[in-house]
Every structure is written in C-alpha cells, then in structure tokens.
Structure 1
Amino acid sequence: MPVPGEPGLLAAVTPATAARRTLAPLERELAENRIRLEALTKAFETAEVVYAEGRQTGPQSSTILRGAGEIAETIDAAVGLCKAELLTAQPGGRRPPAILETVVRRNLDLLSRGISQRTLYQHAVWNHPPTAGYIRTVAEAGGSVRTVDEMFDRVIICDRTVAFIPTLSDSPDEALEVRDPHVVRYLANVFEYAWARGTPVDPAAGKRPEIVVSELEQSIVRFLVAGHTEEKIARGLGISRRTVAEYISRISRRLGSVSRAQLGYLIATKGLLPESQDERSCPP
C-alpha cells in the first residue's frame, strides 16, 4: 500500500487488509443490486396479482362449455338476447326431430320480433324429410335458408358479438363460446363466403332444386377423381355411403363405365369437371 508522506513508496500489508480494501466496493455494489432485485421482485409479484384478478373479473374471450344442458342453456340465452341478426351453419344431412321441434319455435319467435335470420345447411338435408320440412317452415316465415355441397364445422353467431363453435374434442357435449371480436368477425366472414355460393331454399318448391342434384354430383365426381373412398365422400358431403354409391352407379351407367378405374378415366376425358374449377380439399 502507499506510504503516507512518501510519494512513490509502497509498504507491504497483510492479505486480510488488502482483501478488505479490494472487496469492499464489490460488496457495496452487490448489496445495492440485491436491494434493486428485491424491489423488482415485489413489483412483478404485485403485477401478477393484478393481472390474475383482471382475468377473473374481466370478460373472457372464450369459454369451454361442457354438458348438453350447459351448452343448450348458454346458446338459448344468447339467442334470446339477439337484437338484430342470427347466423347459423349446420353441417350434415339431418337433425333429430326432437331438436327440430324445439328450434323451430325459437326461430319463429325471433322472426316475429323482426330479427334477421340466415341459416346454412348442406344439400344433404333434402334427403331427410323432417329437416327439409323444418327449413321450409322457417323460410315461409321469412327466414333465409341456403344449402351448399360442402361446409365447415357448426357455428352459431349472435349479433356478431358472440359465437359458438365445436372444440377439438370428439365429444358432442362440448362447445366453445367465443367473444373475442376479432375471432367472431373472422367466423362471420367465413359464413358470408359460404353463404354467397349457397343455393336459396324456395319454400314454394315441392322438391329439391335441380342445381342441388347437379352440385352434389359434381362434388362426388371431383372427389372420385382425387381418389377418395365412398366413406370419406359421404362424410364430407353429409350424406350416406349408400347415397354416394347410388350417385356413382348412376354416373357409371351414363358414361358406360364397368370399373372404378375406367370411370375416373371417362370423367377426365369427357370433361365432367369444369376446367376453371380448382380441386378443393378432401373431406375431413
């Protein structure tokens, strides 16, 4: 260490003394950092509590509904509060008669209150008389109903503020209530896209429109050319495997085909598929 009063001279000191002088600044810095660390830790702990409380008391962007009773009650409550518009997409070819009896009363009540109601079904509903009768009743009362060949999953959108969709679970007794405005807007846009290409239901018509038969046949032809099985085609179009087989048999007779391989060749060479129509994705 420097010798007092003797510039340039150094004197030996004990290692303990040298250690104290060298380590003291580091210890002070560590102590200051420890104080800052404790303060920041407490601040983040407080923020975590506030955030958790906000999540519990604030509106949830989505909620999983479990059980047929809870799903039905929640949807009925949301539909009952509709003030302007109800959008519904129902994939598949049939609905249980018991459910139809319940929803027809609800739909007629909404229409009587002046609420716009648009519903999408698959063309397959024409093969199920109870469902076909139900949609004619709704259409006669002023509801707008259209059918399409293929469709996305089931969705119900109330006033474009809340939507109900299936979850990833295979259970029919589980649904997701969505209130995030961005997601609801996206779902409504998907609905509008499908609606634009749907075939309107004419309540005065005594049978399904010929265009429905044509679109079903075109879809079956398209999936045949893509190599899909009858089971996958039926599942994607919401019709039975037997109905798919009947369509394929009818197309085969028309083209004079005696085998599935020859049928695919004849479909391609005779131009049954419009050249401008892109191949859609396979049924789920």
Structure 2
Amino acid sequence: MAAGSVPADPPVHCAAELGLLVPVPGEPGLLTPVTPAIAAGRTLAPLEETLAAATRRLETLTKSFESAEEVFNGARRQDPQSSTVLRGADEIAETIDAAVGLCQTELLTAQPGGRRPPEILDTVVRRNLELLARGVSQRTLYQHAVWNHPPTAEYIRTVAEAGGSVRTVDEMFDRVIICDRTVAFIPTSSDYPDEALEVRNPSIIWYLANVFEYAWARGTPVDPAVNRRPEIVVSEIEQSIVRFLVAGHTEEKIARGLGISRRTVAEYISRISRRLGSVSRAQLGYLIATNGLLPETEERTDRD
C-alpha cells in the first residue's frame, strides 16, 4: 500500500461521494484523502448555487403574485358586486378555505344531505375549532338525516361542544357558505357538481343570509350532551314524508329531498301504513287526510 492512500476495494462509497477520498494519479485502485474543508467546498458549492438560484426564483415569483393580487383586488374594489365562477374541486376548495380562514366575526354554513366523507370531516373539524378559538361565531345547518351517519353526527357534536351552534331541519335548500356577510359561495347548478359561484353582491348576500335565518329559526338545536337523535327529529321526518306522499312524490324523490336512503323512506312509509291500517298507497293518502296527519299549514291552505 502506498503511503497516505487506501485501496479502492472494498468500496468506500460514502467518503468518495463526499469527495473525502479521490483517486491517486497514476495509481489505479488507490484513493487518497482530501482535506475536509476542500472537499466541502467542492461538494457544497454547486448545491449552494442551486439553492441561491431557487431563492432568487422564489423572490421573483412572490413579487409577481403580489402584483397580480394587487391588480385583482383593485379590480374587485371597483366592481364590488361581481361574482366569479369557480371550476374544479381543487379551485373551489382552496378558494373557500382561504375565505373561511379570513373570517373575522361570523361563518354561516348550510350543508344538505345526510352524510359527509370522513376525510372532509377531519379537515373541516380542525378548521372550525380554530375559528371558534379565534372567537368567530359559527352557525351550521344540517338535515335531520345526519343522525343516521355516526361520523357526521359525532362531528357536529364536537363542534357544538367547542361553542359552535348547530341545528338540523327536515328539508333544506342547497349548500351555501357565508363569510362575514361579505362573500358567499353557492352551487351554480346540480348539473355541474364541480362548479361554484363566489358571490360578493351585497344584495344577493343579504338575500342568502335571510334564507339561512328563516331555516335556522325552524331548526332543531343540537345538544352535544345528547348522544341520540331527538324524538322531534323523527316526528318532523315523518311529517315531511307525509307531505311528500300526499303530493304524489315517489320514494326516490322523497329520499333525495330529505337526504336519506330510499330504504329508510320505505321503512317510514311502512310504519305509517301499519299505524293507520292502510293496505295500499291510495288508501294511505286518504287515511292521512282523514286522520289529521297533514301539517296545519297545508290544512289551512286546502280550506282556503
């Protein structure tokens, strides 16, 4: 072995990759050590240059986006009543998350349907708890059907325990999110699930908030201390099914309107039929009317 060198076999990959060992000129198979400071300079210099270039690129892009944001917000201030169509699930989610994150005083949300995906619940529960911790008032409307989905029911109890207000109703309008009564998000159409409308028109937001308040007033409050569905919820679901039946709707349409499964609707109808002694759908409608099961508002309308 030559003085000051080591054989290249067995391999010493780590030291060689770091530049701490380099081949000995004219001595194949031998490696000689390099001063660590020199090896560090040779190895780190390209990385430092790459990092510096990335930093310069980051600063340039940041300034470009800041300029774009300033122009965008300036145009929005000149036309505060504008609305923007959001397309794509990612753009919708990111825009709503940004608006909700900027909420200062109040967040109103209406979520139709009977369940929400667990992965979405994990995200929104953290966001809601953060807002509540900042003192942002939160009111959320769900349909009674959420009581049939344990993960969603557990989520609304968690939010209620943290200070959020949650109520459930039998029937509800489509999804709406209102942030500080300055911006709202609504669907564009049921035919386009990956589209949403960002609304900043004060008159439209006022109208949407009034619709929310009307539904909120007739909602059933969620008590976080109660781990089961309130009896009034069962009663209101039955009344809604009765109203749909009398109007001639199918089980499928009733299920969509109430956010529950067709099977659950069939079970309710079967229970109502047994209670009234009905043997057919036509007879059931007659017995509903003659036994005073129609909601009072509809009875008054019929008499009028």
* Bin of the TM-score, shorter chain as denominator length: 0.7 to 0.9
Number of matched pairs: 228
Question: Over residues 210-253 of structure 1, what are the superposed CA-to-partner deviations in whole Å (9 max), with x where a residue is unaligned?
Answer: 00000000000111111111011111111110000000000011
Partner deviation per Cα, 1:147-190 (whole Å, 9 max, x = no partner): 00000010000000000000025222110000011111110010
Matched, 1:244 2:258: no
Aligned to 1:189: 210
Per the alignment, do residues 279 and 201 of structure 1 end up closer, same or farther by CA in structure 2, a change over 3 Å counting? farther
**Cα distance between partner residues in 2 of 1:93 and 1:164:** 20
User: Residue 94 of structure 1: which of 99, 110, 115 is its match?
Assistant: 115
Matched residue SS, 2:296 = coil
Is the aligned partner of 1:275 residue 2:296? yes
Shift of 1:144: 0.1
Residue equivalent to 1:134: 155
Counterpart CA distance in 2 for 1:96 and 1:279 is: 41
One-letter identity of the residue aligned with 2:239: Q
* Counterpart secondary structure, 1:276: helix
User: Counterparts in 2 of 1:37-186, with a 5 A limit?
Assistant: 58-59=79-80, 61-168=82-189, 170-186=191-207
Q: Give the C-alpha shift of residue 274 in structure 1.
A: 3.4
Overall identity of the aligned pairs, in % = 86
Give the Cα separation in 2 of the matches to 1:260 and 1:185: 43
Shift of 1:132: 0.5
Distance in 2 separating the partners of 1:192 and 1:213: 23
5+ long unaligned stretches in structure 2: 1-73
Q: What is the CA distance between 1:83 and its match in structure 2?
A: 0.4
After the TM superposition, which segments of 4 or more aligned residues of structure 1 sit over 2 Å from their partners? 53-60, 274-280
Task: Report the CA distance shift for 1:204/1:272 in structure 2 as closer, same or farther (over 3 A).
Answer: same
- Output the amino acid matched with 1:228: H
- Is the radius of gyration larger for structure 1 or structure 2? 1
How far apart are 1:127 and its partner, in Å? 0.6
Alpha-carbon RMSD: 1.9
Q: TM-score, normalised by structure 1?
A: 0.77
Q: Secondary structure at the match of 2:146?
A: helix
For 1:279 and 1:108, how far apart are their aligned partners in 2? Answer: 44
* Distance (whole Å) between structure 1 residues aligned to residue 75 and residue 101 of structure 2: 28
Shift of 1:262: 1.0
Distance 1:155 1:125, change over 3 A: same
Q: Where does structure 1 lack aligned partners over 5 or more consecutive residues?
A: 1-52
Equivalents in 1 of 2:276, 2:134: separation in Å?
52
Q: With structure 2 as the length reference, what TM-score do the two structures score?
A: 0.72
